[in-house]
Amino acid sequence: MMRVLVAVTLRGLLNRRRSLLMLLLAASPVLIALLIRVMGRPADPERLAAEVLDGLVVRTVLPLVALVFGTAALGSELEDGTAVYLLVKPIHRWRIVAAKLLAAGGLTIVLVVPAALLAGFLIVGDQGGGMQLVAAYGIATTIGALLYATMFVALSVVTGRALVVGLVYTLIWEGVLAGLFAGTRVLSVREYVVAIAAAIDPEASIRAGLDLATAAVMTVLVLVGAFAIASERLSAYEVRSTE
């Protein structure tokens, strides 16, 4: 039953123009890495790889792809009314949420993580230390994709303006406030991802704003909290009549 839910959600997500746009967005780090490669070997490839992976993948591509898929996986069905066909089935609502975040998170991982790995490897080439850095970002991005997807799926059940709220969160909260006020970093998924990457490769030049313990605890809290909120809100979700 979960399989069919995930499969139909994936078809819905991939059936639209946005999947092409997301593919282009996910491919952007690879294109930039190719450009770097074509222009010649950089002086410090490991540092450059960290800058591309942090600045482009973790700060931009990952949250945007997760935002689009996360809010569409369930939110678009709630908005257009097709979610009724899921809600009137003998399925516990947490299973619906789980299927939706698996689809959205899985799709984000499939698009973003290979792109991050490929971009990283293209920049660092055959440098041993650089490989570890790229692997660290690969693992951290995978965790980040699941985390963002869960959060945005939950957001789509809570509000009909999930895309806007999600954009404000990633651009304003994570993009601006987390840089200005250290306290806000505790509620920034981006900071958790960077902290996890830094913990996996402590030798690399990754500037983390949080320590691993805080990032790990917050990762679990946000994951469990967002999932619980989404499940509860969907259990009490009311389908207003069109009258």
Chain positions contacting other proteins, by CB under 8 A: 1, 4-5, 8, 11-12, 15, 80-82, 84-93, 235-236, 238-243
In angstroms, what is the minimal distance from the CB of 181 to other proteins? 38
CB of 226 to other proteins, least distance (A): 21
Q: Among residues 183 and 241, whose Cβ is nearest to other proteins?
A: 241
CA distance linking residue 34 with residue 214, whole number of Å: 35
Helix then strand count (H, E) for the chain reads: 12, 0
* DSSP H or E run through 150: helix 128-158
Query: Which of 107, 141, 137, 109 lies closest to 124 in space, CA to CA?
Result: 137
**Six-digit token string for 56:** 């482009």
Residue with tokens 């951290």: 140
Q: Given the complex with other proteins, which of 65 and 86 has the nearer CB atom?
A: 86
Closer by beta carbon to other proteins, 8 or else 186: 8
Backbone angles phi, psi at 65, to 5 degrees: -65, -45
CB of 78 to other proteins, least distance (A): 11
Considering beta carbons, is residue 79 or 158 the nearer one to other proteins?
Answer: 79
| Smallest separation, CB 224 to other proteins (Å) | 22
